[in-house]
């Protein structure tokens, strides 16, 4: 999923003397076509070695455009903040070659900070609301279960169904309060760090009581998010 930041900016002088400085900043590729200097940076690759997370900066005569990939909708907040900080550093470097008015930058940063604030509040409220609803249902079903245990054999069928639903809700609560993606990535990263950069996914899954597929998902997230790199 591609996101775009476009800011009006007027180039005040040629970029020739700026190119060497930008080239030393670790960009994967620099190109100059049709009066536009393009800087590309590959941040991470997936398990197959295909570029997964990257961004591109286009320095044009009348505008600056930042195009970047969003790995997932869940990471929109953190990714937008990363690109906002990137653009601030970029403005600091090109200030001698571009006239960037405050009025053209303000709307973007105001919208960014406002959306981040709203998203954080919304995400927090939704998570708390869903967890509380599940816990309330769990308490209700648990009470029904205990009542049915004391009842006669005539309620055996209802008892079995209640036990099944109770287990389903228990599992959902364990997933919400247990090993989420962030915790899983932390455990995988610590394992790799303490095992000389290597990991046996089957041993890790066994010790952490996880399905191998879940462990592989976490490992792929670490690679996609740039925390570790796949050995060639």
Tens of pLDDT, residues 8-29: 889 998 888 888 888 777 888 8
205 vs 116, more confident: 205
For 92, residues 6+ apart whose C-beta sits below 8 A from its C-beta are none
State CA 26 to chain mean position distance: 23
Q: Where are the alpha helices (DSSP H) in the chain?
A: 19-23, 76-94, 102-149, 156-177, 181-194, 201-207, 212-224
Q: How far is the C-alpha of 167 from the C-alpha of 141, rounded, in Å?
A: 10
Instruction: Express as a percent the part of the chain with pLDDT over 70.
Output: 89
What is the 8-class DSSP label of residue 69? E
Q: How far is the C-alpha of 95 from the C-alpha of 64, rounded, in Å?
A: 12
Q: How far is the C-alpha of 79 from the C-alpha of 86, rounded, in Å?
A: 11
pLDDT tens by residue, 175-201: 544 577 888 888 889 998 898 888 899
């Amino acid at each position: 999923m591609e996101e775009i930041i476009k800011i009006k900016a007027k180039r005040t002088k040629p970029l020739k003397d700026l190119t060497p400085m930008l080239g030393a900043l670790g960009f994967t590729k620099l190109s100059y076509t049709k009066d536009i200097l393009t800087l590309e940076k590959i941040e991470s690759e997936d398990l197959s070695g295909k570029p997964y997370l990257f961004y591109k900066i286009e320095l044009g005569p009348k505008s600056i455009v930042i195009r970047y990939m969003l790995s997932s909708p869940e990471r929109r907040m953190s990714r937008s903040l990363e690109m906002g900080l990137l653009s601030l550093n970029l403005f600091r470097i090109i200030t001698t070659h571009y006239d960037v008015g405050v009025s053209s930058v303000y709307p973007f940063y105001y919208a960014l900070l406002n959306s981040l604030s709203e998203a954080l509040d919304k995400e927090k409220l939704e998570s708390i609301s869903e967890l509380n609803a599940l816990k309330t249902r769990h308490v209700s079903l648990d009470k029904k279960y205990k009542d049915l245990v004391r009842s006669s054999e005539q309620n055996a069928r209802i008892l079995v169904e209640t036990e099944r639903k109770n287990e389903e809700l228990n599992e959902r609560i364990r997933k919400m309060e247990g090993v989420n993606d962030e915790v899983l990535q932390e455990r995988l990263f610590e394992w790799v760090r303490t095992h000389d950069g290597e990991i046996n996914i089957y041993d890790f899954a066994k010790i952490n009581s996880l399905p191998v597929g879940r462990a592989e998902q976490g490992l792929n997230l670490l690679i996609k998010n740039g925390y570790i790199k796949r050995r060639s």
